[in-house]
């Protein structure tokens, strides 16, 4: 049966010295373990009908959620444009304390909200592509017009 002890590895990948190949290898092993546990949970769910069904579904959902976090961490480690001094600990929320995990999730939600607010509507796009160039051209031409009125041509 799956317990909390065998769900999490004894090593915390965030606290280890960062080695790209070892990190990728350990993450891939952890992903494979989690996938195997997910498949075994699915098999036991199909065989089980009774009061344990809901508990098994919750365990399966937790396993899938943890698997997604580890996959995201693996992708982040794999990407070449990642900053070298970034907070690696924040990529492994299931190895954090409950308080730190909630802070990490709040930061993530805030970043996603910030990104979603940046989506432009068609009227905003029209404003940027029509009104902004018009205002810029007026600001550029304004000194010339003022200069022409201040110093009229004399014949």
What is the residue extent of each domain of the chain?
4-96
pLDDT digits (tens, 9 = 90+) for 89-130: 555 556 667 777 777 778 877 777 776 666 667 777 777 788
CA dist., res. 111 & res. 85, Å (int): 19
Confidence label for 17 from pLDDT (cuts 50, 70 and 90): low
Mean pLDDT of the chain: 73
Residues 6+ apart with CB under 8 A from 13: 23, 26, 27, 30, 73, 88, 92, 95
The structure's pTM equals 0.25
* Strongest mean pLDDT among 67-71, 73-77, 101-105: 67-71
pLDDT digits (tens, 9 = 90+) for 78-87: 665 555 544 5
């Amino acid at each position: 049966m799956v317990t909390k002890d065998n769900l999490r590895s004894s090593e915390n990948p965030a606290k280890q010295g960062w080695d790209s190949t070892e990190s990728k290898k350990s993450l891939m092993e952890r992903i494979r373990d989690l996938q195997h546990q997910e498949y075994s949970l699915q098999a036991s769910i199909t065989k089980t009908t009774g009061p344990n069904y809901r508990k098994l579904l919750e365990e399966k959902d937790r396993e899938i959620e943890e698997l997604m976090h580890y996959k995201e961490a693996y992708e982040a480690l794999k990407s070449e444009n990642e900053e070298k001094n970034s907070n690696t600990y924040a990529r492994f929320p299931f190895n954090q304390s409950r308080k730190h995990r909630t802070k990490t999730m709040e930061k993530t939600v805030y970043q996603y909200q910030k990104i979603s607010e940046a989506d432009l509507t068609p009227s905003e796009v029209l404003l940027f592509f029509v009104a902004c160039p018009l205002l810029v051209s007026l600001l550029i031409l304004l000194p010339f017009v003022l200069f022409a009125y201040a110093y009229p041509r004399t014949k």
